[in-house]
């Protein structure tokens, strides 16, 4: 009970605080700061990409509601995820405050801590998979979106901070750095999206951000059709990876279910088909009459 009350207060309070720090209740709007300028680097998305926070915030409210459902008080998932979620939303609130105050380098360090914490939450999500579709929608999806978006913004924020500080190492070429960054996102994102049944929510959040990079590199400045095409390929690879994992796991589940359903059926006797037909007609499974099967 104490944990559920704390999760409710901390999550709702942190979401309200983040909205206040972002300027939704007046003051400087966070999307107008230099860090979010779409022309700052080749990996800076359009400002409209930040709209995903409305969906993430709504999903976290759904998570709070789900933990109060009957039967969830002793859930091993919530007993461990609750503390991780509280720490994550508090770190995100602090991140919004730092960005609003112009502490970009410090915010980048805090961003890394938040990303590691959300990656750690996968341990509990994978160890205790969602028991129902409702749980998957209210727990796995919002946390997956949170993780995916944090991973993407770790890339875009890092590129923006380096650009603001005029940092150059190994190559004095923004194009090469952009390719390296996209490659890292594809590799790490593919590993994360290949866990459990395929973390499609994680992939969709990253693809959302990459999609706005594509838009900005086509119609904005600096323009780069090559980076736009590379980013589109990166998004495609992430979707294929998560979707392929989901297909393989679901296919294995259907095969296992079919084996359990047919475990008590006798082998077909081709020399005496009438007796077998009578048995299958009476079998209370999903087979029905032999003439009805296609």
And the tokens for 123? 């341990």
d(CA 256, CA 34): 54
**Which residues of the chain carry a pLDDT beneath 70?**
168-173, 246-294
* pLDDT tens-place string over residues 154-204: 999 998 888 887 776 545 567 888 898 899 999 998 888 887 777 889 999
pTM of the model: 0.81
Percent of the chain with pLDDT over 70: 81
Per-residue DSSP letters for 224-282?
Answer: -HHHHHHHHHHHHHHHHHHHHHHHHHHHHHHHHHHHHHTTTSPPP-TT-HHHHHHHHHH
Contact 35, 160 (CB under 8 A): yes
Contact 67, 4 (CB under 8 A): yes
Which pLDDT belongs to residue 6?
94
Phi-psi region of 220 (alpha: psi -120 to 50; beta: other; left: phi over 0): beta
d(CA 112, CA 94): 13
Residue 4 is given by DSSP the state H
d(CA 251, CA 209): 30
Which pLDDT belongs to residue 293?
43
Q: Of the candidates 68, 57, 262, 33, which has an alpha carbon nearest to the alpha carbon of residue 164?
A: 33
Which pLDDT belongs to residue 271?
57
Contacts of 110 (CB under 8 A, 6+ apart): 91, 94, 95, 98
Contacts of 94 (CB under 8 A, 6+ apart): 110
Phi-psi region of 244 (alpha: psi -120 to 50; beta: other; left: phi over 0): alpha
CA distances from 260 to 193, 281, 285, 292 (A): 29, 19, 11, 22
Residue 45 is given by DSSP the state P
* pLDDT tens-place string over residues 80-100: 888 999 999 999 999 999 998
Which pLDDT belongs to residue 223?
87
d(CA 153, CA 151): 6
And the tokens for 251? 């296919």
């Amino acid at each position: 009970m104490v944990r559920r009350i704390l999760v409710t207060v901390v999550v709702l309070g942190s979401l309200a605080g983040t909205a206040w720090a972002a300027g939704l209740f007046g003051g400087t709007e966070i999307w107008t700061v230099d860090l979010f300028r779409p022309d700052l680097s080749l990996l800076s998305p359009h400002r409209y990409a930040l709209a995903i926070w409305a969906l993430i915030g709504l999903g976290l409210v759904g998570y709070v509601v789900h933990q109060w459902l009957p039967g969830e008080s002793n859930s091993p998932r919530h007993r461990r995820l609750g503390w991780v979620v509280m720490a994550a939303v508090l770190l995100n609130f602090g991140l919004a405050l730092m960005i609003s105050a112009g502490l970009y380098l410090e915010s980048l360090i805090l961003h890394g801590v938040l990303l590691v914490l959300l990656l750690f939450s996968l341990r509990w999500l994978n160890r205790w998979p969602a028991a129902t579709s409702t749980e998957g929608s209210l727990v796995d999806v919002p946390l997956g979106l949170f993780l995916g978006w944090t991973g993407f913004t770790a890339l875009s924020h890092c590129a923006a901070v380096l650009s603001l500080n005029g940092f150059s190492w190994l190559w004095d070429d923004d194009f090469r750095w952009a390719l390296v960054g996209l490659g890292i996102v594809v590799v790490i994102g593919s590993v994360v999206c290949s866990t459990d049944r395929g973390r499609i929510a994680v992939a969709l959040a990253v693809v959302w951000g990459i999609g706005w990079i594509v838009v900005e590199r086509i119609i904005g400045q600096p323009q780069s059709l090559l980076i736009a095409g590379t980013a589109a390929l990166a998004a495609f690879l992430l979707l294929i990876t998560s979707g392929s994992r989901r297909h393989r796991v679901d296919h294995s589940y259907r095969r296992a279910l079919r084996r359990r359903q047919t475990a008590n059926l006798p082998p077909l006797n081709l020399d005496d088909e009438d007796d077998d037909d009578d048995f299958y007609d009476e079998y209370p499974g999903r087979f029905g009459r032999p003439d009805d099967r296609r």
